[in-house]
Structure 1
Amino acid sequence: MRAVEEVVEDRADSRSEPPAPRRARADLWALLSYAVLSALVTFQIWRDPNGRVLASNDDDHNVFLFMLAHGERVIFHGDNPFFSDRLNVPDGVNMMANTSVLVLSLPLAPVTHWFGPGFTVALLITLGLAGTATAWYWVLSRHLVRSRLAAWIGGLWCGFAPTMISHANGHVNFVSQWVLPFIVWQALRLREPGRALRGGLILGLLIVLQVFINEESLLFTALALGVFVIAYAVLAPARARGAARHMAAGLGVAATVAVTLLAYPLWYQFFAKGNYHGQPFAPDMYATDLASIVGFARQSLAGNAELTRRMSVSATEDNMFFGPIGFVMIVASVVVLWRSVAARAAAVSALVLLVMSMGPELVVFGSRTGIPLPFGLISHVPIIDLVSVTRFAMVPATIAGVLLALATDRRREFSPRGQRLWQVGLVLALVPLFPKPLPVVPGDPLPPFLTQGTWRQYVSDDRTLVTVPLPEVTTGRTGMRWATLNHLEYRTPRGYFMGPVNPPSDHTGSWNAPRRFTSDLLWRVREYGERPQLTASDKARITEDLIFWRAAVVIMVPGGRNEGPQVDTLTAALGRPQLIGGVQVWDVRSLPVPPSE
């Protein structure tokens, strides 16, 4: 085993390790503790995974229901893994341009098929938290620290830090970080002589694996490693020069493997139908608040939602929130490890990405200060413009856990008083950050029209079932959820996904399908309770949109906001509905079907 300085400087550690049985017991207890804590965080969704949704971000919960249902269709129906024609009819969805988590959805397709996508979402969030903690524990305990307790603390922080619990509110991709510790370690090991071919091959394959889990996390990791290497080269130029040739050779092998295997998927992502460029928001819209470094997240034991809202844009983006004592312990860890060049380089990497996460202008406790930050210089660089800026802060949150583990491993070098202070500091830092269970709410139950298969009498495979409210981000989540819980057996227009805002004239990224007259009209009716007087031209445009969407039936989601005005508007356009299987149905099969592209 090697301490962090010895890992970088390639010096053997002469200190003895605990006996193997003791290490094995410690490993088992660490894994069990992570599993129990993960189950505690997710237990509310487990009570009815297909009938409940995550309250803090049901939109993104729906997105991953769709991703997993798509993976089930790839395995059981032979659908294209990189494209789905089941949502956003007739244009479809570029799945490579979305977080399709194919490396998760495809192996778990049988689970999704038999137990439903809601079950698989709950399973992946549970395994993601525990798996990320376990992966970091493994790397720390095998390569960086001697103490299993120090490794356990590091794994605990990296797997259950406020940023991870925050993203567990719907972001399956961001909680599944169990590949990243091995990418980091394999990249750093490339400096060793003789590892270029084998290490580069392993690293390349790990990169490919991570691309199909989450490209954003991979980008953050690459940037962090890049800053780490630059900082290390500045701090220890002689050592860096000695390792440069070996590392460059290994990276060349890794790049060759990754580019070869990813060439077609990445071409599909950036150039095939449904590709987009940039995000549907300004780079400073989602940025890290300086005050959040010492605040508490909503899902932490000491958190206060009202206070946290001043420092965070969303319950799924509480990306710092170390608490005051937690922040002090992280700073203290850097001080304890100051003689280690690697630790200092890691701290520099964390600081750089933290500043990047703050966007182009410093924000403190929700207030813009007018102080410009360096991110404004790179905010429009391709690839960088595709990420949510505040998520860069996930990297310093993880590095903080590693530094905390490394410093804790040195506690035996402290004086007795120093050891007691360190132990007290850890308790005071970690206990207020203990995660609360993820909040959930009941989802709208599927009506008998769907559960009894009545819809099959109306909707052939070349037609769609249109739910109103239309499937959109924030307003039509039920219709999209119903489609995914039916394993995407019927096709539906629109939906919540990332795609071009108005192709082919505008390929800027959007969370919605391109606007149409009917989607805008029904949105206004739902939001404001309008009862528009439809003209003949309005009715013709509604009919035109239904033809465009290849509609067979239109059904109303019962019990929603301003349901009466929505029903009245549809009745004015399509005639009186029938009550079938618990929902009001407008049969529009008489409309023509446009030719397929």
Structure 2
Amino acid sequence: MRAVEEVVEGRAETRPPAPEPRRRRADLWALLSYGLLAVLVLSRLWRDPSGRVLAGNDDDHGFFMFVMAHGERVLFHGDNPLFSDRMNVPDGINMMANTTVLALSVPFAPVTHWLGAGVTVVLLLTLGLAGTAAAWYWVLSRHLVQSRVAAWIGGLWCGFCPAMVSHANGHVNFVSLFVVPFIVWQVLRLREPGRAVRGGVILALLIVVQVFLNEEILLFTALALGVFVIAYALMVPARAKREARPLLAGLGVAAPISLALLAYPLYFQFTGPGSYSGQPFLPDKFATDLASLAGFARQSLAGTDELARRMSVSSTEDNTFFGPVGLVMIVAAVVVLWRSAAARAAAISAFVLLVVSMGPSLKVFGSDTGVPLPFGLVSHVPIIDLVSVTRFAMVPATIAGVLLALATDRMRGFTPRGRRLWAVGLVLALVPMAPKPLPVFDADPMPSFIAQGTWRQYVTEGRTLVTVPLPEVTYGRDGVRWPALTNLEYSSPRGYFMGPLDPPDDITGSWNAPRRFSSDLLWRVQQYGERPRLSASDKARITDDLVFWRAAVVVLVPGTTNEGPLLDTLTAALGEPQQVGGVRLWDVRSLPVPSNE
């Protein structure tokens, strides 16, 4: 049996013999089971990818449709991959400063081009879940365990634990973690003599790919590995000292190569147009609740939305939720593997990042206990201040899956009664955590004005189509979804993205474009049903905003909340609308277009 310490100490076989036919069949069934489970989780969205929206996170679902459409424009139209001028006109969007998964959106651009952004999103969510599980299964079965059952359990947990399923509510970047296990394995293999150059180059390329998938996860992985290495070195200092030289040599190769390849994209991300600093919320808004460790997530078989809401403020951030038996099994796995210094170091790494994920003070069932936690000391450190704190808990969730696989692999060394107890424990842990299909709702049909391309008669290059409600975070969903479904053939103002709050005076991160008179006014009308009396000055300011946005036509989204007050307000400002292709619109092509200075 390959114990985990043998792997870390370099005594495990790194290239086992080709698997026997029975193991090949086991591999096939494992991959098939992951694929079927991923399809089940996204089954409701698969029924109509372009006409349905994920109910748990309609904002990010629309955003990632925009991301896929941007990838299509990069490949088919030669657009700048790091910047988009198709939304938030005239300022545009810094795509590197947003989670735009260029490593997926560009390769899958043909799917978007021919089948639409909705299909690409559901396909990538499905492949992300199944691919992450398969990647961990591959690393576990080839390098860490002998039992294919143990590897299957580890892959199942790592790919479909509550954290992964909750992020499948639109977060393509957080379910596409299939590069992470190979990064971890390559780092561990750097200790082997003679691997510094080859291993360093491979690691550098994996890092580059991961940056264009999800930088947050790369940061979490680096921190977890750093804690692991420190903990392991303290427990076995002689061995750590002996292996430090080849490890550092390999990292010394990986670092300059990855930095050279990433220098300009990262420079553009942090200093280019549309860059920002910090998050639009306080660190304790999204933090791990202590009670959630033994709770059940919304999308787990045993979970309920009402109870989960007390322990997590968002259905996309159920990053722990192991259930009572699952938590016991994780602790039991650590006990079973306790003699392994590497297993203890992994457990310490998981514990440290779990505490970090709890934010600046301890919360229990949604109540702040006032007990200070270490994150409060580093919450304003650059880079750390860009992270959603609770997502640090994705690291212990993944490490838990690896430890369960390693402990399950040792089952053959248990007594018969011990094996039965362990098997029963796994069943009682995994079955209640089994994922349910993600909820969706039917989007309003796209009017023929958009679907049939009638808008082309109004919107020429350099002009925009302005939808009302204006696209903002949690509002104006169609203002993001419609252009995405046209593969960004037309440009639009504002939108849902991360950018500076009020540049250049305030570059704090914001989910909205900088405020304008018209955006504030129309927001109040939609929210509260107001029918404001517009003065001549108000009408002039609305006109100024339309000029700023380079508007060619203003379209009122049919069936929107408070449609009547919005119609009255726009009519008072712009005159009587036309009825074209199922929408009311105002033709404002007579307005001037500002220069591009």
Tell me the TM-score normalised to structure 1 length. Answer: 0.99
Alignment of 1:393-432 (within 5 A): 393-432=393-432
Match of 2:82 in 1: 82
Q: Describe how 1:341-380 pairs up with structure 2 within 5 A.
A: 341-380=341-380
* Structure 1 contact 227–349 (Cα < 8 Å) conserved: yes
Counterpart in 2 of 1:481?
A: 481
Q: What displacement does 1:6 show?
A: 0.4
The equivalent residue for 1:541 is 541
User: 1:3 Cα shift?
Assistant: 2.4
C-alpha displacement at 1:10, in angstroms? 2.0
Partner residue of 2:596? 596
Residues 137-536 of structure 1 mapped to structure 2, 5 A cutoff: 137-536=137-536
Read off the aligned partner of 2:489 and give its amino acid letter. Answer: E
3-state secondary structure, aligned to 1:301: coil
Contact kept, 8 Å, 1:579 with 1:585, in 2: the verdict is yes
Listed one character per residue, the Cα deviations across residues 32-77 of structure 1 (whole Å, up to 9, x for unaligned) are 1101111111111010101111010000001100100000001111
Q: Deviations over 1:297-323 (max 9, x none)?
A: 000000010000000010000000000
Between the aligned partners of 2:311 and 2:453, the Cα distance in structure 1 is 47
How big is the shift at 1:556? Answer: 0.5
**Distance (Å, rounded) in 1 between the aligned partners of 2:567 and 2:414:** 72
**2:107: which partner in 1?**
107
Could you tell me the percent identity over the aligned residues?
76
Which residue of structure 2 lines up, in the alignment, with residue 64 of structure 1? 64
Indicate yes or no: 2:554 matched with 1:577.
Answer: no
CA distance in 1 between partners of 2:217 and 2:524 (Å): 37
Contact 2:13/2:143 (8 A) holds in 1: no
Deviations 1:214-251 (A, max 9, x none): 10011110010000001111111111101111110100
1:534-581 alpha-carbon deviations (Å, 9 max, x no partner): 111110100000000000000000111111001100000000101100
Query: 3-state SS of the aligned residue for 2:42?
Result: helix
Aligned to 1:136: 136
In structure 1, what is the equivalent of residue 565 of structure 2?
A: 565
Q: Secondary structure at the match of 1:56?
A: coil
Aligned pair in 2 of structure 1 residues 513, 26: CA closer, same or farther (>3 Å)? Answer: same
Aligned match of 2:27 = 27
State the distance in 2 between where 1:3 and 1:198 align: 26
Amino acid at match of 1:463: R
Q: Following superposition, which runs of at least 4 residues in structure 1 exceed 6 angstroms of deviation?
A: 16-19
Asked whether the equivalents of residues 17 and 146 of structure 1 are also in contact (C-alpha less than 8 Å), the reply is no
Q: Is the contact between residue 34 and residue 134 of structure 1 (CA under 8 Å) also seen in structure 2?
A: yes
C-alpha change, 1:73 and 1:12, in structure 2 (3 Å) is closer
Which amino acid is the alignment partner of residue 280 of structure 1? P
The answer for unaligned runs of 5 or more in structure 1 is: none
Aligned residue for 1:279, secondary structure, equals: coil
> Alignment partner of 1:576: what SS?
coil
Return the offset for 1:11: 2.3
Secondary structure (helix, strand or coil) at the match of 1:555 reads: strand
In the TM superposition, what whole-angstrom CA distance separates every residue of 1:416-460 from its partner, at most 9, and x where no partner exists?
Answer: 110000000000000000100011111121111011111111110
Question: Does the 8 Å contact 1:3/1:143 carry over to 2?
Answer: no
Matched to 1:112, the amino acid is T
In 2: Cα distance, 1:470 partner to 1:12 partner: 58
Q: CA deviation at 1:2?
A: 3.3
Which whole-Å CA distance do the structure 2 matches of 1:492 and 1:18 have between them? 55
Give the match's secondary structure for 2:586: strand
- Cα distance per residue 1:248-272 (max 9 Å; x no partner): 0100111011001000000010011
2:509 and 2:293 map into 1 onto residues whose CA distance is 30
In the TM superposition, what is the alpha-carbon distance from 1:12 to its structure 2 partner?
4.5
What is the DSSP-based 3-state SS (H/G/I as helix, E as strand, rest coil) of the residue aligned with 1:80? coil
Partners of 2:459 and 2:350 lie apart in 1 by 53
Greater Cα offset, 448-457 or 137-146: 448-457
- Aligned-pair CA distance for 1:13: 6.9
Q: Specify the alignment match of 2:5 in structure 1.
A: 5
Matched AA of 2:125: I
Indicate conservation of the 8 Å contact 2:45/2:440, yes or no.
yes
Q: CA deviation at 1:17?
A: 8.8
Amino acid at match of 1:200: G
CA distance in 2: counterparts of 1:591 and 1:554, whole angstroms: 12
8 Å contact 2:100–2:213 — kept in the other structure? Answer: yes
Q: Is the contact between residue 337 and residue 344 of structure 2 (CA under 8 Å) also seen in structure 1?
A: yes
C-alpha distance in 2 between matches for 1:479 and 1:9 = 55
CA drift at 1:18? 10
Q: Distance in 1 between matches of 2:257 and 2:19?
A: 39
Contact 1:3 1:146 survives alignment (8 Å): no
Amino acid at match of 2:552: A
- 1: distance between equivalents of 2:3 and 2:86? 52
1:474 aligned counterpart, secondary structure: coil
Q: Which amino acid aligns with 2:175?
A: V
**Letter matched to residue 445 of structure 2:** P
- What aligned pairs does 1:18-57 form with structure 2 within 5 A after superposition? 20-57=20-57
Partners of 1:75 and 1:97 in 2: CA distance: 20
Output the CA distance in 1 between the equivalents of 2:200 and 2:82: 27
Task: Letter of the 1:344 partner, please give it.
Answer: R
- State the distance in 2 between where 1:395 and 1:379 align: 18
**Contact residue 12 and residue 143 of structure 2 kept, 8 A:** no
**2:230 corresponds to which letter in structure 1?**
I
Give the AA of the match of 1:196: A
Q: Deviations over 1:321-361 (max 9, x none)?
A: 00000000000000000000000000000000000000000
Work out whether residues 3 and 13 of structure 1, in 8 Å CA contact, stay in contact via their aligned partners in 2: no
Structure 2 counterpart of 1:555, one-letter code = V
The answer to whether the Cα contact below 8 Å between 2:10 and 2:191 also exists between their aligned partners in 1 is no
Cα deviation 1:129-178 (Å, max 9, x = unaligned)? 00000000000000000100000000000000000000000100000000
* Partner SS, residue 410 of structure 1: helix
Q: 1 CA distance for matches of 2:294 and 2:478?
A: 37
> Structure 2 CA distance, aligned partners of 1:243 and 1:444?
60
Gap regions ≥5 residues in structure 2: none
- Structure 1 letter corresponding to 2:515: R
Find the aligned partners of 1:116 and 1:192 in 2 and give their Cα distance.
Answer: 46
Contact kept? 2:204, 2:254, Cα under 8 Å: yes
Which amino acid is 2:342 matched to?
A: A
Counterpart contact for 1:4–1:340, Cα < 8 Å: yes
Give the C-alpha shift of residue 19 in structure 1.
6.2
Hey, what's the Cα distance between the residues in 2 that align with 1:244 and 1:19?
A: 33
Deviates more, 1:504-513 or 1:19-28: 19-28
One-letter identity of the residue aligned with 2:114:
W
